[in-house]
Amino acid sequence: MVKKPTLIAFDLDFTLWPFAVDMSAYVAPPFSKNMNGQVVDTRSRKIKHFKEVPSILKRLHHEGYILAIASRTGDPEAARQLLKLFNWEKYFTYIEIYRGSKITHFKRFKSESGIDFSEMLLFDDEHRNKRDLDTIGVMMIMVIGGVTHKLVTEGLDKFSNSYEQK
């Protein structure tokens, strides 16, 4: 029997999109949609997400996973705005966006959902978050260059294999 996580969480910056939402060198919130329906910042620059993200979120949601956002950005409002403009809010049951340790994000997930840390999986681009989450038993998969279908499949396999070894 293949063991699957109950909750899959994603970081935002450099994981679902290729920039830090709170750094003006990358983007200039607030965001909106232009006449062509493209998401743009106040400088009218197109704001793009990593290519495979919409189909990944749709797939995981369709497969019945509970999805969550765990982001430590300094501009939670801008991050939430992008989630809405990209039409991704519908996929996420839990959204925790604020500065601070990812441990706090996951403690809230656990408190609100009743799901144990050992049933959670995070995709994130920062090593420090892996070190933190290892202390509470949440598995993290390192993301380099954005989340992809291949990485998600590898992460799910790693999660399953970790149970087989216990």
Question: Which residues are catalytic, by number?
Answer: 11, 13
| Identity of residue 96 | E
Q: Where are the beta strands (DSSP E) in 106-157?
A: 120-124, 139-142
Token look-up 């998600």 returns 152
Give the span between the Cα atoms of 105 and 85, in whole angstroms.
23
Taking the CA atoms of 140, 141, 142 and 148 in sequence, report the sign of the dihedral they define: negative
Q: How many residues belong to the chain?
A: 166
Q: Which helix (H) or strand (E) holds 8?
A: strand 7-10
Token look-up 């919409």 returns 54
